[in-house]
Structure 1
Amino acid sequence: MKAKFYIGLGLQLFGLIAVGLCFISGVKNGDYGQFELAQLVIGSFAFYVGNYLKGRSLG
C-alpha cells in the first residue's frame, strides 16, 4: 500500500515540475512550441495519474 502512495506522490511531483518548466519556458521565450505542448500534456497526465494512485492507496 505504501508503495502506491509514494509512486503517486512521485508522479505528482514529476507532473508539477514538468508543467512549471513548461510555464517558465513559455514566459521566457514568449511562445509555446510543440515541445512545451507535449511537456504540458505529459506533465498534466502524470500529475493526475499520481493523484489517482495516491488517492486509491489511502482509501
Structure 2
Amino acid sequence: MLFYIGLGMQLVGFASVGLCLFAGMTKGDYGQLELIQLIGGSLMFYVGTFVKGRGAK
C-alpha cells in the first residue's frame, strides 16, 4: 500500500513542477507562487520516492 501512496506523491510532485515550468514560460517570469510550486513539488516527489522505497520492502 505504501508503494502506491509513494507513487501517487511522486506523480503529484512531478505535475506540480511541470505546472510551475509552463506557468513561468507563459508569463515570462517566475513569481513567488511558482517558487512555492517548485519547492513543494520537488519535496513531494522526493518524499514520495522515500515512501515508495519503504513500501517496496
Could you say which TM-score interval applies, normalised by the shorter chain? over 0.9
Residue identity over aligned pairs, in percent, reads 56
Distance (whole Å) between structure 2 residues aligned to residue 26 and residue 51 of structure 1: 26
Structure 2: where are the runs of 5+ without partners? none
**Where does residue 50 of structure 2 map in the other structure?**
52
Distance (whole Å) between structure 1 residues aligned to residue 56 and residue 33 of structure 2: 34
Aligned mate of 1:5, from 3, 6, 24: 3
Any runs of at least 4 consecutive aligned residues in structure 1 with deviations exceeding 6 A, and if so which? none
Q: Given the two structures, how large is their TM-score scaled by the length of structure 1?
A: 0.92
Contact 2:14 2:41 in 1 (8 A): yes
Q: How many residues align?
A: 57
**Where does residue 15 of structure 1 map in the other structure?**
13
Distance (whole Å) between structure 1 residues aligned to residue 45 and residue 34 of structure 2: 16
